[in-house]
Amino acid sequence: MTKKSFATLAVATALSTSGVWAADVNEDMMEVSVKNFGALPDGRKAQMYVVKGPDGSKLELTNLGAVIVSLEVPDNQGHLEDVVLGFDEPTPYLTDSPYFGAVVGRYANRIDKGQFSLNGKQYKLAINNEPNHLHGGNVGFDKLLWNGSVVDTEDGPGVRFSTISSDQDEGYPGELYVSVTYVFTADNQLIIDYLASASDDTVVNISQHSYFNLAGQGDGSILGHTLKINADFYTPVTKSLIPTGEILSVSGTPFDFNTSKSIGRDINKSHEQLSFGGGYDHNWVLRSSEFPGDLHTAAILKDPESGRTMEVVTDQPGLQFYSGNFLDGIVEGKGGIAYQYRGAVALETQHFPDSPNQPHFPRTSLKAGETFKSRTIYKFSTSD
């Protein structure tokens, strides 16, 4: 990856009269089209952006929450399946969604008791996950109708969503400009670039909250998936899932994924941290976190039956691994499928939870005039 700023990327905002835009990327055509996704309760309309690859792989995005609605990739026989959880229409993303496919912020993950101090001033945020603040508050980025456009980047054609969060929005200081750019390549890499800048000093932690089941969305438990996480340490939590401030070794615990193992192997073991999260719902300290800004492989997820593999590459210092412990079979998603307990996994690249209150955690403050940039890549492949 070159470290060009977003400002240097060529932007193609004009669509043809057919609503289809295409570009030649290494002689493989990636086609982007735009269509109506549906109306929100207040009458506003959400749009759907569809990126199709030459092998039939497909990414569907909506400007509501900058959500990944569906992602179809092949198995080892070439059969395509949608591997992310979501809904067939926009309204449930506002009412029933546990952040399916959404961009979450201003601050992804939890902030203790919804308060922090910055430059000697105390700020109080919305409490939406009693007693804490979670994923930006009551109306976080996941519930906003973003501005969307088709763009041309050095990695190929993509879709850029942007929004402005006003000063004191959900309690955060400073007006914040945010953009998220998705590029889906002919070799099934999903590249996500984040950019943010603020009018005043603030805190920022942005992540993508897709729920993955590599066997296919709604196709059973993910306990048989194997996972490798490149981390020697994790941040243990209290009963309310706020980091204690400790950074503990994973060695000899159920949290050691340095060697690939099935998610279900240790998930039900007797361990205080597993009881607090109802399974895995913790932040891993990625091995390359001492080199901020460098891309590194954070995790590798695999479904042994289909052979689908997803490698998570990021420049972020942390990874939240959530094993779908609060899915309960009540929420119905795409195709009327009820999403079952532990039926998907989230692998959220991030800074650490509650960092504004933990001075020894990596910095999440963003000064006025600075630019926050980050990249995460989900690389899909197959194996026997």
Query: Which residues carry out catalysis?
Result: 209, 348
- Do 76 and 83 contact (CB within 8 A), yes or no? no
DSSP 132: B
Longest dimension (CA), the chain: 60
- pLDDT at residue 291 greater than cutoff 80: no
Express each pLDDT in 19-29 by its tens digit.
444 443 343 68
User: How many CB atoms neighbour CB 251 within 10 A?
Assistant: 10
Residue 69: per-residue pLDDT: 98
Phi, psi dihedrals of residue 45, rounded to the nearest 5°: -110, 135
pTM: 0.92
Taking the mean position of all CA atoms in its chain, how far away is CA 204? 14
Locate 24 and state its tokens: 């030649």
Helices in the chain by DSSP H: which ranges?
A: 91-95, 272-277
* pLDDT of res. 294: 85
pLDDT (tens digit per residue) in 9-47: 222 222 222 344 444 334 368 999 999 999 999 999 999
Residue-wise pLDDT for 219-257, tens only, equals 999 999 999 999 999 999 999 999 999 999 999 999 999
pLDDT tens sequence across 321-341: 999 999 999 999 999 999 999
List, in order of start, the domains of the chain with CATH numbers: 8-382 (2.70.98.10)
Angstrom distance (rounded) from CA 17 to CA 150: 14
